A = this chain, B = another copy of it.
Amino acid sequence: MSATLIDGEVIAVRMRAEIAAQVQQFTEQHHYAPGLGVVLVGDDPASQMYVRMKRKNCKEVGIESYAHYLPADATQAQVEEAVLSLNQDTKVHGILVQLPLPKHLNEEAVLNLISLEKDADGIHPLNMGLLAMRGREPLFTPATPTGCLVLLKEMNVPIAGANAVVVGRSNIVGMPVALMLTRENATVTICHSKTRDLPSYLREADIVIAAIGLPEFIKGDWLKPGAVVIDVGTNKIDDATAEKGYRYVGDVELESAQAVVKAITKVPGGVGPLTRTMLLANTMKAAYRLTAKA
């Protein structure tokens, strides 16, 4: 038995087509395009690549992107000024500050400045709190966790009542995806670096979200037969046989997992395309909300 390999790009392409249609309608109605403001600080190649891909996706669907590229030694005041100017700019509906920021900057202070209504990454603490609370609705849900949920729903995975194990408790993936799965009535366990006997939790899990950033850490024989695995990890490892001398692997050992589970996401090409697409969807959502109020 070999598991279905979940291709996020196929789903993302279809969703981007839907977003493109919304963008076109919005642009015709308002005579300007929905806008995403992007703040990138420094020269980290991965961050630069992510920003490039996000802006490329914007362009594809017709969202205008407004970039503030700041040098690695930018001051706190300069970065905050970039965010504040995007807050003010009525053509900008969503704001993305590419993380991580260089270590000399106070990331929390920068993120706190993003206007709640432009928090297209859904990472404001108020949005996190609303996500955690029953009967409340966040203005936006964060991109990667939302992408995970989209993949599960596309695969028709029953979530309500399922045993779901989230490995990792980061602010941008692990914790919010745990909160979203709880909202969908899964029974969620949040595992992390201090968890004892991780395999004992995974062996009971119908749904696994792996988001720890450790290459091929989770082995096939830790998983439950028939489980569905969303592998959020994108870890660069050396590979002399690869053209560039490296390749990307997930947090789950794909080969051994495929022999056990029902379905598992590709890495790369699984969650990543959905993450970028959710950012576009959130920008569109922000554009509707902001222009309805104006």
State the A residues within 8 Å of B (CB). 108, 124-136, 160-161, 163, 169-171, 175-176, 179, 182, 185, 187-192, 194-196, 200-201, 204
Contacts and interface: CB of A to CB of B under 8 A. Distances in A.
Contact of A187 (B128, B131, B201): B201
Contact of A188 (B135, B136, B170, B189): B189
Given A125-B126, A190-B187, A182 B169 contact: yes
B161 A136 contact: no
B132 A179 contact: yes
Given A160-B194, A161-B194, A196-B161, A133 B188 contact: no
Q: Identify which of A128, A134, A163, A201 gathers the most chain B CB atoms within 10 Å of its CB.
A: A128
Contacts of A190: 182, 187-189
Contact of A194 (B125, B130, B185, B189): B185
Given A187-B189, A187-B201, A189-B187, A169 B108 contact: no
Given A125-B133, A125-B136, A179-B132, A191 B187 contact: yes
Q: Identify which of A125, A175, A176, A196 gathers the most chain B CB atoms within 10 Å of its CB.
A: A125
A3 to B, nearest CB: 23
